[in-house]
Amino acid sequence: MNLEIICKQVCDVAKEAGKFLLQEINKISFKDIKEKGTYDFVTYVDTSSEKFLINKLSGILPEAGFIAEENTVSEKGELYKWIIDPLDGTTNFVHKVPLYSISIALMKGDEVILGVIYEPNLDECFYAWKGSKAFLNQKEISVSENQKILNSLIATGFPYYDYDKMEQYIKLFVWFVENSPGIRRLGSAAVDLTYVACGRFDGFYEYGLSPWDVAAGALIVQQAGGKIYDFKGESNYVFGKEIIAANNIIISELLEVVRKYMK
């Protein structure tokens, strides 16, 4: 299996899906929006994009199954699985905020071996595969070299459910407000991770996430020289619903702070 060739094919597929998102953003109205849960939205754009991705990815690797956000397919796959988010940042999309993405990862067994994230508004395609460097539009990228949170720009997000931890999560947010140059909440975890990978953000943390939110971005960060953990400092970040990403210098400090508040 040539992962580099497959990755380029997946980039092309993601860009095609991105064109569809851009075509539809000014057509969608609030009557097209449904709630999967409280403040967790889905539209015909999400499901149409997912069906398109499934069709195209099935042609690239027919033996692979799928873990897809909108559950439009049931194939599981014995060895290979695509993990896809057809529209990460649906809330931004329905409000016509120009920041959302398509996220595609390929797992072999329990290991993510390929990741592609495409942000169509800036026409930015981030990608990496096992053993490669990380890239943005064919240019190699790497994480930042900031050495302290004191000098770092940190990103986060807020969950749509599981509010039991919100009190300590808000205290953690306040800590970063008081002890860093700034903290950002963009509305797409996949984009947050790519921004860590290319050095725009120095770190990112969030809980309440799903595999399709983080699988591709986590690999891209790692191949860009960064580190990824769950809140325990372990490696259960794809399915464990919590993630910390940063350059390999501040990751220890970031993990220590997050663990202090999110025990």
pTM: 0.93
Tens place of pLDDT per residue across the chain (263 aa): 899 999 999 999 999 999 999 998 988 766 666 655 554 557 788 889 999 999 999 999 999 999 987 666 766 777 999 999 999 998 899 889 999 999 999 999 999 999 999 999 999 999 999 999 999 999 999 999 999 999 999 999 987 777 788 899 999 999 999 999 999 999 999 999 999 999 999 999 999 999 999 999 999 999 999 999 999 999 999 999 999 999 999 999 999 999 999 88
Distance CA 129, CA 127 (A): 7
How far is the C-alpha of 68 from the C-alpha of 188, rounded, in Å? 16
Q: Strand, helix or coil at 119?
A: strand
* pLDDT tens track for 67-87: 987 666 766 777 999 999 999
pLDDT in the model for residue 94: 87
Buried b (16+ CB within 10 A) or exposed e, 11-47: bebbeebbebbeebbeebeeeebeeeeeeebbbebbb
Q: How far is CA 171 from the centre of its chain?
A: 24
The whole-angstrom separation of Cα 133 and Cα 218 is 13
DSSP H or E run through 252:
helix 251-261
**What whole-number distance in Å separates Cα of residue 187 and Cα of residue 97?**
10
Please tell me the distance from the alpha carbon of residue 8 to that of residue 25, in angstroms, as a whole number. Answer: 26
Domains of the chain: 3-140 (3.30.540.10), 149-261 (3.40.190.80)
Alpha carbons 152 and 9: distance in angstroms, whole number: 35
Please enumerate in sequence order all residues whose Cβ is within 8 A of that of 17, keeping only pairs 6 or more positions apart, or say none: 49, 52, 53, 86, 102, 118
CA atoms within 13 Å, Cβ hemisphere of 21 = 33
DSSP 61-113: -TT-EEEETT-------SSEEEEEEEEETHHHHHTT-S--EEEEEEEETTEEE
Q: How many CA atoms lie within 13 A of 161 on its CB side?
A: 9
For residues 107 and 215, the answer to whether their CB atoms sit within 8 Å is yes
Output phi, psi for 55, to 5 deg: -60, -45
Residue 111, burial from CB neighbour count under 10 angstroms (0-12, 13-18, 19+): exposed
